[in-house]
Amino acid sequence: MTATYPPAEPIWCAGCGHFGVQASLDRALDTLGIPRHETIILAGIGCSGTIQNNLGTYGYHALHGRVLPSATGVALADPSLTVVAAGGDGDGYAIGMGHLVHAFRRNVPFTYLVMNNAIYGLTKGQRSPTSPRGEDGAAPFDAVSMGLSVTGTTFVARGFTRRSAQLDRLTLAALEHARSGRGFAFLEVLSPCVNYNDTYPEWEAALHDVDAEADYNPSDRASAFRVVAEQAAQGRMAVGLIYRDDSGGSGQATAGVMADGRARPAAADLDPTRHAPVLQKLLDRYRV
């Protein structure tokens, strides 16, 4: 028997930025004609970690900070699916930070949407790694700079929920990058928490839009890094399509082959029953 579930109503506070992220993702799936039953959203823990209930796709609620290894497994096991990982700055940049570095390195093709509100929203407003320098003296973490610094990174973008037209374009570009097999598409969305950290006005004033720069070249990693660093030194944040490497193969999604021509791990290799005899042999060593 097959059970289907109607999309849930979002549980977010009125005015929460996460509505904008969801709306852009909803529109991007429609624009690209991606059926909901061929899409899976895996989400972390937090207010952001409920988006997977709302769009009529498959959904998976990962352990706190573990959305990226879960999404990596799904993307490798079934390359025909559109795989979207989603979560907050707390989930992705604190407990989940180690996985983010390796997701950039491995460049497995799926999209990662981080709803950055510089706070732990669900647990009522504790500081997160992107909170401004506070009493503890810790500097805020910038995932865009980190992503640019990892060899193997192929897509880095940042949007703002209040700039919905740009966010629509970036979400589309991220999905297309991942779905064409080019690799891991990282899109951080500045998504204010109106309840505990209403940053709408200050972020609006601090943005530097690289998409509006006539001579900005998103395929030039070194100059992308320089622009992001220069803006950060002035207390500003670069938004837009910051870096995209299109050189990875044909970009055509094929079930068995990655963009660079290497074979994907076959679904059969991931079948646990194939490895049952080996596992049994290992377990037998501990028999008393």
Ligand X SMILES: Cc1ncc(C[n+]2csc(CCOP(=O)(O)OP(=O)(O)O)c2C)c(N)n1
Residue numbers at the binding site for ligand X (CB under 6 A): 44-48, 64, 87-91, 115, 117, 119-123, 128, 193
Instruction: Examine residue 194 and tell whether it contacts ligand SF4 (CB under 6 A).
Output: yes
217, interface contact from Mg ion, ligand SF4, ligand X, none, CB < 5-8 Å by kind: none
Whole-angstrom Cα Rg for the chain: 19
Shortest Cβ 190–ligand SF4 spacing (Å)? 12
- Among 226, 233, 246, which Cα is nearest to 149's? 226
Asked if 180 and 174 count as a contact pair (C-beta separation under 8 A), the reply is no
Residue among 187 and 193 whose Cβ is closer to ligand SF4 = 193
194, interface contact from ligand X, Mg ion, ligand SF4, none, CB < 5-8 Å by kind: ligand SF4
Shortest Cβ 263–Mg ion spacing (Å)? 38
Region binding Mg ion by CB under 5 A among candidate stretches 25-33, 109-117, 179-187, 236-244: 109-117
- Residue 281's contacts (CB-CB under 8 Å, 6 or more residues apart) are none
Residue among 111 and 191 whose Cβ is closer to ligand X = 191
- Among 112, 54, 48, 53, which Cα is nearest to 84's? 112
CA distance 108 to 38: 18
CA distance 163 to 35: 26
Binding mask 2-21 for ligand SF4 (x = CB under 6 A): ----------xx--x-x---
Binding mask 38-57 for ligand SF4 (x = CB under 6 A): ---------x----------
Shortest Cβ 228–Mg ion spacing (Å)? 21
Residues that bind Mg ion (CB under 5 A): 88-90, 117, 121
Residues that bind ligand SF4 (CB under 6 A): 12-13, 16, 18, 47, 117, 121-122, 193-196
